[in-house]
Structure formats: C-alpha cells, structure tokens
Amino acid sequence: MGTINAYRIHLVFLILLSSKSVFAGGFEAHKQNLQNMVVSISDIEAEIKNLIHHKRSEHDREAQKKVMKEIEEKHKKLIEAYKTYNDEVNHVKFRHPEQGDDGERTYTILKPRTLEQIENDVGLEGKLDRVKRKMEAQYNQSPPPPKSKKEELAEKKKIEERPPERIILRK
C-alpha cells in the first residue's frame, strides 16, 4: 500500500513538472520561441500587404469586399500574435532574469500597427517616406522645408520693389 502511494506521488510530481504552467523552460527555449514569433508576425504582415496589393488591383466591388474581409481576419491574427509575443517577453523579463549572464539582454515590446499604417507602407507615400528616411540617414541633412505661398509672394515683392539700376550714357 505504501509503495502504491509513493508511485502515485511520483506520477503526480512528474505530471506537474511536465505541464507548461509549472515548468516554464529555460531562457534559450524562450529565446527561440520569441524568434519564431517574430518570424510569424512578419509573415502575417507580408500576407496582409499582398492582400492589400490584390485589393488595389481588383476592380470588382464584391471581390474587393471579400479581400477586405480576409485582410480584417489576418489583422485580427496579427494583433493576437503581437499579444502573445508581448506576453512571452514579459514572462521572460520577469521569470528568467539575468542571473550570472555576461551578455546584456534587451527586451523589446512590439506595438501592433493599424490597417491604415500597413496600407500606407504599401502605397506610394510609404515608399517616398522610406526613401526620404534613407536620404536623411545617408546625407545626415534634411531638405529645407517647402516655402509657403506667402513667403514666395513676399520674396517676389522684394525683388519687384527694388528700384531699377540707372544706366548713364556718356560720350
């Protein structure tokens, strides 16, 4: 009778250790899990961008509505993926601190982007913004801001108000 109870205790103990809620795993397992989550997030974003391209090229309203529903479903999956990623980051940050690590760990929280932000990235404005950021980074100087119409008119008036130079002819 005593050996049966001992086996039961060992069996319960093994089940508890193997359950995910009690045994969280090491930092390396979590690190790999975080990397996989980042890849899945980028895959979902790529799918959304492809669907946006498809929606823009489609001319039929019904087909556009179907594609838009797909985009909304993918966006819900994307928000859920961001949530699970951020939960995992918080778990790693607080449950697996840097005990004796030589390297420094950095934890980044990802914020989910709206559909409008993703659509802007896909469109012409997004491409222009990326080129502008690249130009500013490379040349370390931003272009001068465009002048307003008032400034342009003021400059033209200054030029017009200057008295003409006198030409003197001598023999």
Residue 30 has pLDDT above 90, yes or no: no
pLDDT, greater one: 27 or 148: 148
Residue 134 has pLDDT above 50, yes or no: yes
Residue 112 has pLDDT above 50, yes or no: yes
Alpha carbon distance 120, 18 (integer Å): 46
User: Residues 153-165: pLDDT tens digits?
Assistant: 888 777 777 666 7
108: CB partners within 8 A, 6+ apart: 89
pLDDT at 111: 84
pLDDT at 17: 47
Write down the mean pLDDT value for the chain: 78
Amino acid at 105: R
User: Residues 58-99: pLDDT tens digits?
Assistant: 888 899 899 999 999 999 999 999 999 999 888 888 777 665
Q: What is the mean pLDDT of residues 113-140?
A: 81
Nearest residue to 27 via CA among 86, 108, 91 = 91
pLDDT at 82: 93
pLDDT at 103: 62
Q: Which two tokens stand for residue 109?
A: 């929280």
Considering only 18-27, 47-56, 137-146, which range has the smallest mean pLDDT? 18-27
Q: What is the mean pLDDT of residues 99-112?
A: 69
Per-position DSSP letters for the chain, written without gaps between them: -HHHHHHHHHHHHHHHHHSTTT----HHHHHHHHHHHHHHHHHHHHHHHHHHHHHHH---HHHHHHHHHHHHHHHHHHHHHHHHHHHHHHHHHHHS--TT-SSPP---PPPPPPHHHHHHHHSHHHHHHHHHHHHHHHHS-PPPPPPPHHHHHHHHHHHHHSPPPP-----
